[in-house]
Amino acid sequence: MGPITGATMEVSSTFDNMTGLTHDRPVQTSSFCQQFSSVDGAGNYDVVNNVVIPTPGAPDPRAQNSLRQSWEMNYQEAAIYLQEGENNDKFFTHPRNAHALSAYLFAHNHLFYVMELLTAVLLMLLSLSEAPAVPFLRLDVYVHATLELLALVMVAFELCMKLRWLGFHTFIRHKRTMVKTCVLFIQFIEAIVVLVRQTSHLRVTRALRPIFLVDCRYCGAVRRNLRQIFQSLPPFIDILLLLLFFMVIFAILGFCLFSANSADPYFSTLENSIVSLFVLLTTANFPDVMMPAYSKNRWSCIFFIVYLSIELYFIMNLLLAVVFDTFNGVEKMKFKSLLLHKRSAIEHAFQLLVSRQRPDGVCLKQFDGLMRFYRPRMTPQDRFLTFKALNHSGATMLSLQDFYKFYEVIGLKWKARRSGEHWFDDLPRTAFLIFKGINLLVKSKAFQYAMYLVVAINGIWILVETNMLNGSSSLLTVGVSWTRVVPWSYIIFLTIYGIEVLLKITGLGPLTYFSSGWNLFDFSVTVFAFLGLIALAFDMEPFYFIVVLRPLQLLRLFKIKQRYRNVLDTMFELFPRMASLGLTLIIFYYSFAIVGMEFFADVVYPNCCNTSTVAQSYRQINVTIGNRTMLEEGYYYLNNFNNILSSFVTLFELTVVNNWYITMEGVTSQTTHWSRLYFMTFYIVTMVRDCVCWLCMCIK
């Protein structure tokens, strides 16, 4: 531990050397300390004393005290500026006085954030138990309405804190907060109405609940995604209109050409014609929509080929290209403005940290004070190292130029260099040699390739084994036996993997071993497999699925090739971005699910839609073909909006697009033609989202 102690000592000694300017007054006084300055009259007080510890005979202890408080206020405000710069919060929401500061501090800590998040999640989860509820989660009206009121009161409390921090004038100007307040107000009234009437009315406004989630501090990435989506909208809508325009033209043409054919239900009326071509835009009804016309006249396929070529392969590509351009421009602008915002935050903080005597630099004392507020958990040693890293010029103070690098340097982690190379270096000689041997073994190419070979054999084994199961007589028994009876080969392979994991852990040391994502993957897959075996031994039903995960072992094979390692690393890198996109998706789903449930709950059931063109998909009957009778089941009645979980599955199916029109037509035949608007809107939203999602991936 030698070097670390040395560093600490150096820190403290330098600290003493560099704190000479402590008693100088700051150039700019924090807006928070106006009350102090008025009380103490310290506004026109000049300190000339330069010693470190206030000696007896210092001019005035009260002034000294007030000066220290004034500096502390400055540190805090500078830290707040830097936080605002980091989080891209606009400066007009900066707290203006001491009251605002306390509200600001209350509203800016993780406890508050977690409360905010939990309230929002609770509100969203309530949909599981409300009116068209998931069967096993159904709650009485007064229970869920009371829960909702409770959550809304929490939100109201959070908003009050925000009002106190921002002041009424800024509060009104902050758009997101105002929207949130309005939604809160409506929800409040509705919740009370529900509680009074003891029954849910048509509550489409529940679709607005995700706003509370989006506003959470932790959902910054989601807000960013939403902003990107909204910024890409104008060019998107323009091209969409072009797309729809061509669609209508072709619908008129199609109606003229094909409505004479009585066997063609797709073009029988102008409305059908438009709907058919909209669905064709998504390719979901493709060869079918062409078939009646095609069977009558082979050349009619030209109509469809031209339509698809123009719409799908030309305008859609154009749409992507145009949105790509806009998006690229917006991203560049955003990057620039973000950088400028950060610089301006740094400048604000710098002004608060410089003293009257040396107005062009921040010394260590001030920097240390700042960091105590900005990163309370940072050790003094790390604070010193950060200061040193910023201090390029080598002078005792940080210039503004040095300080501009603040956000880059603050991300660095400081680690004491370890003296030994292996974890077993300090062990006795015999043990050292053994571990050294293991270390060399697991690091050798031969060991690696031997393991790849084992995995490959395992893969082939699994394929062959599964294929042989095909031959068994009763599929039902096979399905059961596969998860219950463990083949001996599986135990052998698992033992080999277990030994590999143990060897690697002992050879590399646990710290080095677990610092690699691949090793973590190996480890968890192997441990899960062992857990599965144990679960099997004790006959614990719900853990069977772990045994089923055994083919995941094969994923190790992808370590062989460099490109796959890169690709999978990229996958891990992209994961946070994908997660935030997924969350954005869920928010969209949620809103649409609520609307869907309010309007379409319980409208589809087996044999419900015999009058529609998609009757077959909802049919559940005995059909006689020739002299055979069989049960034909079109399972589409399962794609319904009966509760929020079913709605999510249905919306996922609509996202995948294929056959989405069957769900649409089924619901439409049971409700009104206007229902189609819901499904078409959802498709267009999906399109926007996909488009933006793709661009996010590509541009980074």
Site for its own copies, residues 447 to 466, rule: CB under 8 A: 462-463, 466
In this chain, which of 63, 115, 141, 574 binds its own copies, going by CB under 8 A? 574
Closest contact distance (angstroms) between CB of 501 and its own copies is 21
Side-chain-side CA neighbours of residue 402 (13 Å): 20
Closest contact distance (angstroms) between CB of 479 and its own copies is 3
Residues 6+ apart with CB under 8 A from 498: 526, 530
Q: Which pairs with CB-CB distance under 8 Å and at least 24 residues apart come from 608-611?
A: 608/637, 608/666, 608/669, 608/670, 609/665, 609/666, 609/669, 609/670, 611/669
Alpha-carbon span 115 to 122, nearest angstrom = 10
Alpha-carbon span 132 to 641, nearest angstrom = 9
Closest contact distance (angstroms) between CB of 285 and its own copies is 7
Our finding on whether 476 is near its own copies (CB under 8 A) is yes
Our finding on whether 308 is near its own copies (CB under 8 A) is yes
Residues 6+ apart with CB under 8 A from 671: 599, 600, 603
In this chain, which of 51, 339, 579, 623 binds its own copies, going by CB under 8 A? 623
Alpha-carbon span 74 to 281, nearest angstrom = 61
In this chain, which of 98, 128, 141, 320 binds its own copies, going by CB under 8 A? 320
Our finding on whether 297 is near its own copies (CB under 8 A) is no
Our finding on whether 109 is near its own copies (CB under 8 A) is no
In this chain, which of 71, 104, 255, 367 binds its own copies, going by CB under 8 A? 255
Alpha-carbon span 116 to 466, nearest angstrom = 50
For residue 123 the two structure tokens come to 């509100």
Q: What DSSP element (H or E) covers 524?
A: helix 517-537
In this chain, which of 658, 672, 677, 681 binds its own copies, going by CB under 8 A? 658
Q: Which is nearer to its own copies, 43 or 287 (CB)?
A: 287
Residue in 353, 272, 446, 323 with CA at minimum distance from that of residue 82: 353
Closest contact distance (angstroms) between CB of 230 and its own copies is 18
Alpha-carbon span 165 to 220, nearest angstrom = 20
Q: 613 and 265 in contact (C-beta within 8 Å)?
A: yes
Q: Which is nearer to its own copies, 30 or 650 (CB)?
A: 650
Site residues (CB under 8 A) for its own copies, limited to 42-101 = none
Q: Which is nearer to its own copies, 22 or 646 (CB)?
A: 646
Range list of H helices, 19-60: 34-40
Q: Which is nearer to its own copies, 76 or 613 (CB)?
A: 613
Q: 501 and 526 in contact (C-beta within 8 Å)?
A: yes
| Binding pattern for the stretch 508-547 against its own copies, x by CB under 8 A and - elsewhere | ----------------------------------------
Our finding on whether 283 is near its own copies (CB under 8 A) is yes
How many positions of this chain bind its own copies (CB under 8 A)? 97
Residue in 218, 223, 214 with CA at minimum distance from that of residue 110: 218
Our finding on whether 485 is near its own copies (CB under 8 A) is no
Our finding on whether 627 is near its own copies (CB under 8 A) is no
Our finding on whether 257 is near its own copies (CB under 8 A) is yes
Site residues (CB under 8 A) for its own copies, limited to 174-233 = none
In this chain, which of 52, 160, 318, 433 binds its own copies, going by CB under 8 A? 318
In this chain, which of 55, 111, 169, 262 binds its own copies, going by CB under 8 A? 262
DSSP state of 49: -
In this chain, which of 118, 339, 534, 578 binds its own copies, going by CB under 8 A? 578
Closest contact distance (angstroms) between CB of 203 and its own copies is 25
